[in-house]
Amino acid sequence: MAHGYLNQFAQGKATIYSAGIETHGINSGAVAIMKEDGIDITHHTSNLVTEYVHVNFDYIITVCDHANENCPFIPSENAVRLHHNFFDPSKINENAEEKYRAFLKTRNEIKTYCEQFVSEYL
């Protein structure tokens, strides 16, 4: 979700990469909730952070405590490292309405964070 919003708000001022410490594929709940806000993330992929060791990043943003604590070292000499823990709505095992509300809440928090990041740093 962050990748989708960063692409939208950066408007070509940055190249956005998205990766994690595990791959799980694209979550259908994330795809659906982003589509509601007019952003198509169906073309996104689930990549490992180790695939990007050759990239010299300006910013490295972690979006969950697990990634922040377990992410391998990324050798970007001057990268500004930022962290914000967002709740992972895919962890909800309740009914469809509860799951939807969790995705909506997380999406809106990520949207606000990404908009603020772009206005402050780019």
Q: What is the pLDDT of residues 25-72, one digit of tens each?
A: 999 999 999 999 999 999 999 999 989 989 999 999 999 888 888 877
Going by pLDDT thresholds of 50, 70 and 90, the confidence category of residue 104 is very high
On whether the CB atoms of residues 84 and 67 are closer than 8 A, the answer is no
Residues listed for the chain: 122
Average per-residue pLDDT for the chain = 93
C-alpha distances in Å from residue 89, one per residue of 3, 65, 77, 94? 16, 14, 33, 11
Going by pLDDT thresholds of 50, 70 and 90, the confidence category of residue 115 is very high
Please, what CATH class does the domain formed by 2-117 belong to? alpha beta
Span of 49-58, 70-79, 90-99 with lowest mean pLDDT: 70-79
Q: Tokens in use for 91?
A: 């962890």
Residue 68: what pLDDT?
81
Give the span between the Cα atoms of 23 and 30, in whole angstroms. Answer: 15
